[in-house]
């Protein structure tokens, strides 16, 4: 890139023209858009160029590393969004002909043998108390995907 182009690099529709080019490619909007995004994020952008050697563009953004808690929360939100998308066009009919069965299915029995026994008698899934919505959504997604 020619040195005289660098000051105009972030101007909309600015493009470098050389005597060897017969056709100018691009609209001249890429770098102005990048600059606008970097500015919105509170960052800086620098350009160093030597004609015939190349151009170095550096973007610095004031970002911090997410904590493990933030990462896990982000994953939970993404999982919930994924499940909602899967369930969006589905209708679930839950039928139980014996009130006692519904109570038994939601007991506090959290032992592995209880889970195995429930699955052996024909249940498609098993969630032990305390019930967390994420576990319910995971079970629904697995059931709808035919994993049971």
pLDDT tens per residue across span 60-88: 999 999 999 999 999 888 887 877 787 78
Are 42 and 56 spatial neighbours (Cβ–Cβ below 8 Å)? no
* pLDDT tens-digit series, residues 110-120: 788 887 887 88
So what CATH class is 6-60? Answer: alpha beta
As a residue count, the chain comes to: 148
pTM of the model: 0.42
Q: Name the nearest CA neighbour of 145 among 87, 105, 62.
A: 87
Are 138 and 125 spatial neighbours (Cβ–Cβ below 8 Å)? no
Question: Cα 23 vs. chain centroid, distance in angstroms?
Answer: 40
Are 118 and 126 spatial neighbours (Cβ–Cβ below 8 Å)? yes
Domain locations along the chain: 6-60, 68-143
**Can you tell me the distance from the alpha carbon of 73 to that of 23, in angstroms, rounded to the nearest whole number?**
50
* pLDDT tens-digit series, residues 19-44: 555 565 555 788 889 999 999 999 99
pLDDT at 112 (0 to 100): 82
Say what the alpha-carbon torsion angle 71, 77, 80, 82 is, to the nearest 10 degrees.
-80
pLDDT at 51 (0 to 100): 79
Distances (CA, A) of 60 to 42, 43, 45, 49, 134: 9, 5, 6, 18, 37
């Amino acid at each position: 890139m020619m040195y005289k182009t660098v000051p105009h690099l972030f101007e909309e529709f600015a493009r470098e023209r050389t005597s060897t080019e017969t056709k100018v490619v691009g609209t001249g909007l890429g770098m102005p858009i990048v600059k606008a995004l970097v500015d919105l994020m509170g960052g800086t952008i620098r350009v160093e160029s030597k004609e015939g050697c190349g151009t170095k563009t550096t973007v610095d953004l004031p970002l911090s590393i997410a904590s493990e808690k933030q990462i896990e929360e982000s994953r939970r939100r993404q999982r919930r969004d994924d499940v909602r998308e899967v369930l969006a066009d589905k209708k679930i009919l839950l039928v139980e002909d014996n009130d006692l069965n519904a109570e038994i299915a939601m007991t506090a029995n959290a032992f592995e043998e209880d889970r195995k026994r429930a699955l052996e008698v024909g249940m498609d899934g098993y969630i032990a108390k305390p019930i967390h919505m994420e576990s319910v959504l995971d079970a629904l997604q697995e059931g709808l995907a035919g994993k049971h």
